[in-house]
A and B are shown apart, each in its own frame.
Chain A
């Protein structure tokens, strides 16, 4: 199971490469504003995810155009995508069980 924060960061990076504050914004959007990643938590999570190999930091010339050079962009690695898929499936399965029991009872 992925940590909650990591899960949402990977969701944010599932389609596009993004920099830190864009990831934070996307997490807010994904969760209808329920999960706000506070800055230090976010950047530490990013560092750790890089270390573990779930995401990678893009080298300088990989920046999409129009973004400032100073911002670091991140992309989900193959491992990251695999873990995300795995966790998403599992959560869906649990949610299904819960749903079924709640409606069946």
Chain B
């Protein structure tokens, strides 16, 4: 036995068993022999080198080991030959990469980042747009809305009245079945008691057949029976999987038990499967705890527009023909006391995530640009490397390697690099996809994004495309060497070398152009985001926090209700940190409903449909609205006082154009109000949508609200305000759940989150593109300078100043950059129209953006070219020339 380091024994275990058993000791002995007579340090190095060799053999033995038995087992000679060739190529490829580890690592990193970005975007797009919805035969499911459904639509307008659902369900032949759910159930509207503290829970009410329409079966128990979906039928609830696990720890004995919902008993009849992720699909960012039936009855019909409809198309039916049929049915059903119904039927998938398609297309385009830049960059690097290897190629060609073989080997090399890159890319994609899926961005289905088999396939495909496409040019150029030219003089630029220079410059121009396009696009989006952040919301979002305070029990009378509101306000208003406090039934950007409103004497068709808010005095101050004229609501606007209303400027303009509405009468939902004040417009639905008409009624004069939020405004942090207010509120009702708290700033931010998401990714991509492009410029100029050091040396020797030299090189750099930038600007201009629908407050051809990006990229290019230029100018001409003579 030879003395050897323990780790070496471990490494030996990597070897194939046969080799290890027969030669393990001999291998160690020889390594030890190589180390004999050297210093301790030298011996260490020898062991290290021998260890690398062992690992190398172990890795490649697997490749080759398979070749031997397969040829013996009688596979065709051709097959064996092909296999032999491939393994040989791979071996050569690995060996040559091993010679330049730094380059290999660098290349794999940029390919990895490019592929990673590509796979991440693919995974996200797949989750949102491509992967089938988790329902039975989802391709036949359709969303039936009342008119077109766009982002931030008013729910009252697009929802449908019960009678129409019944009509469609019974009469439509294009639709096998139609179900629906109630659109106006708010977060935490209900209180759930089943041992322990009461908890605010969120209900979803569905028609009895909705689960049949979707093809969803409960994992435990059953769906609603016919009696349970009648008016006043037995109270039954289905628990969602999340609530079942969270509240009941997945204990199946809850089935059939009575629980207390809003003070009344209800039976738990079943548990929905985890795959039924209703919120992720229909209401991202929210949570549903239990499902209750929504009866289809004359009584529920009287509630007006309440339902979102989901239908299942008959086999062979198309959404368009179903829409036509539904319109015909709607006109037959339409009768007295019915709201209008203008059916629009489109695939459910389209309804759920269609509005994100353009954004995802932009991201896909961006990521493809990045991948192209990676290709160009890689091509460039490999070209430079192949130039350095001209001699090697020439010698190999001289000893009989056919060119085909050399080309193939170089392709294999770049494919190995790309393969390694794709492994890094998959790791990058895995991490970034998990990160994105974990963000609460209110984008449907995003939380289901993951790197799956298809994404892996994309990674491998992308790597192959990158590897082959970036390998082709260098392979053809690099092997196209005339033997004597190369062997004779590698320093002097051969004609092949010059042609290669042209190719490399062209690649740099392409890189700069693509990077420029990408940066222009992402700058447009960044500016849009700034514009959005700059929007005047009409209220002050920063210092206001909302606490849900509706009491657990129903009020026996209006007096108790009004007294409750007064008590809540009185208790918090006197807190030292509170500047203003008010009540509202709705928070901005969230729930919305519209009522009709008009002058009392106007015909019904002149009615407008403002958003309705039930608020208390102090709301205007607490939200930071601006009172333009008149007065705020006051505590005296109670049940016995004349009905009072605040209107916003938009509503005032619509109903009383040109005159002051103060003191005027406003009719809404059959009641007449007096306008007491006018407030400035606010953004109700989203930051990006222009304000609509809005009316504020006194919460003391109307019981028609499902929630009560207490809004507090103060200098403290939202948490501090809430902590201060909580004990006082607890004193009113000890069991009052006070867990639903949200800062208004967060509400606003959440509504911008999808835009931030898009901008964030684009910025990452374009910074990456910028870095790659500047590396590309640097590489080419630097290489060119090295190639021509002799020529430069002569110039300097003949009296050219270093400034002349630098100037020439910089000019060359800027010419390349200018060509690239020009092309990029043209590309961006041509593609800009595709972006228009996603931009906000900035046009697709915004000159400032174009100029800024061009200036930035130009400056970066100048720096990238300046460094090699300075090096060249500082070179000692004699040393250069001298070195060249000897070289």
Contacts and interface: CB of A to CB of B under 8 A. Distances in A.
B484 A39 contact: no
A43 B30 CA distance: 10
Interface stretch (A9-17, A58-66, A78-86, A90-98): A90-98
A21 B23 contact: no
Contact of B30 (A1, A42, A51, A98): A42
B400 A94 contact: yes
B33 interface: yes
The winner among A1, A41, A42, A43 for most chain B CB atoms within 10 A is A43
B399 A94 contact: yes
A86 B198 CA distance: 92
B484 A44 contact: no
A38 B26 contact: no
A39 B50 CA distance: 7
B57 A44 contact: yes
A101 B50 contact: no
A40 B54 CA distance: 5
Contacts of B49: 38
A40 B56 CA distance: 9
A1 B88 CA distance: 13
Given A47-B22, A98-B398, A39 B487 contact: no
A43 B25 CA distance: 11
A23 to B, nearest CB: 10
Contacts of B56: 40-41
A97 B398 contact: yes
Contacts of A24: 30, 34
Contact of B28 (A39, A48, A71, A105): A39
Nearest to B401: A1
B99 interface: no
B29 interface: yes
A102 B31 CA distance: 40
Nearest to A90: B400
A24 B34 CA distance: 10
A78 to B, nearest CB: 21
Contacts of A36: 34
B19 interface: yes
B27 interface: yes
Interface string B5-24: 00000000001001100110
B245 interface: no
A21 B400 contact: no
A102 to B, nearest CB: 7
Nearest to A43: B23
Interface residues of A, number: 27
B53 A43 contact: no
A47 to B, nearest CB: 6
A51 B18 CA distance: 13
A71 B68 CA distance: 26
Given A44-B61, A94-B400, A102 B30 contact: no
Interface in B442-492: 483-484, 487-488
Contact of B27 (A43, A72, A97): A43
A38 B8 CA distance: 14
Contact of A105 (B19, B68, B488): B488
Interface in B18-65: 18-19, 22-23, 25-31, 33-34, 49-50, 52-54, 56-58, 61, 64
A51 B65 CA distance: 12
B398 A39 contact: no
A40 B22 contact: no
The winner among B18, B68, B399, B484 for most chain A CB atoms within 10 A is B399
B488 A40 contact: no
A51 B26 CA distance: 19
A42 B34 CA distance: 13
Given A44-B19, A47-B19, A91-B399, A39 B31 contact: yes
A40 B50 contact: yes
The winner among B23, B31, B58 for most chain A CB atoms within 10 A is B23
B400 A40 contact: no
Interface in B52-93: 52-54, 56-58, 61, 64, 68
Contacts of A47: 18-19, 22-23
A94 B398 contact: yes
Contacts of B23: 20, 43, 46-47
A21 B33 contact: yes
Nearest to A36: B34
B57 A41 contact: yes
Contacts of B399: 1, 90-91, 94
Contacts of B28: 39
Nearest to B27: A39
Interface string B551-568: 000000000000000000
A51 B488 CA distance: 41
B339 to A, nearest CB: 83
A24 B23 CA distance: 14
Contacts of A1: 399-400
B124 to A, nearest CB: 45
A38 B11 CA distance: 14
B15 A40 contact: yes
Nearest to B483: A101
B15 A51 contact: no
Nearest to A3: B88
A40 B27 contact: yes
A41 B309 CA distance: 71
Nearest to A94: B399
A60 to B, nearest CB: 14
B167 to A, nearest CB: 80
A98 B31 CA distance: 37
Given A1-B400, A21-B33, A94-B400, A43 B487 contact: no
Given A39-B53, A47-B22, A101 B400 contact: no
A41 B57 CA distance: 6
A101 B397 CA distance: 15
Contact of B53 (A41, A46, A72, A101): A41
Given A94-B398, A98-B398, A102-B488, A43 B19 contact: yes
Contacts of A20: 23, 26, 30
Nearest to A20: B26
Contact of A40 (B33, B53, B64): B53
B721 to A, nearest CB: 70
A75 to B, nearest CB: 17
Contacts of A42: 27, 30
B706 to A, nearest CB: 76
B484 A21 contact: no
A25 B52 CA distance: 20
B484 A105 contact: yes
Contacts of A102: 484, 487-488
B57 A21 contact: no
A2 to B, nearest CB: 12
Interface in A21-45: 21, 24, 36, 38-44
Contacts of B26: 20-21, 39, 43, 71-72
A43 B61 CA distance: 12
B53 to A, nearest CB: 3
Interface in B119-160: none
A96 B50 CA distance: 36
The winner among A36, A40, A41, A44 for most chain B CB atoms within 10 A is A40
Interface string B378-407: 000000000000000000001110000000
Contacts of B31: 38-39
Contacts of A46: 23
B1 to A, nearest CB: 11
Interface of A: 1, 20-21, 24, 36, 38-44, 46-48, 51, 70-72, 90-91, 94, 97-98, 101-102, 105
Which 3 A/B pairs are nearest by Cβ-Cβ distance? A38-B53, A43-B23, A39-B27
10 contacts: A21-B26, A39-B28, A39-B31, A39-B53, A41-B57, A47-B18, A47-B23, A48-B64, A72-B22, A98-B483
Given A42-B30, A90-B400, A102-B488, 6 more contacts: A39-B28, A39-B50, A40-B58, A44-B61, A47-B18, A101-B487
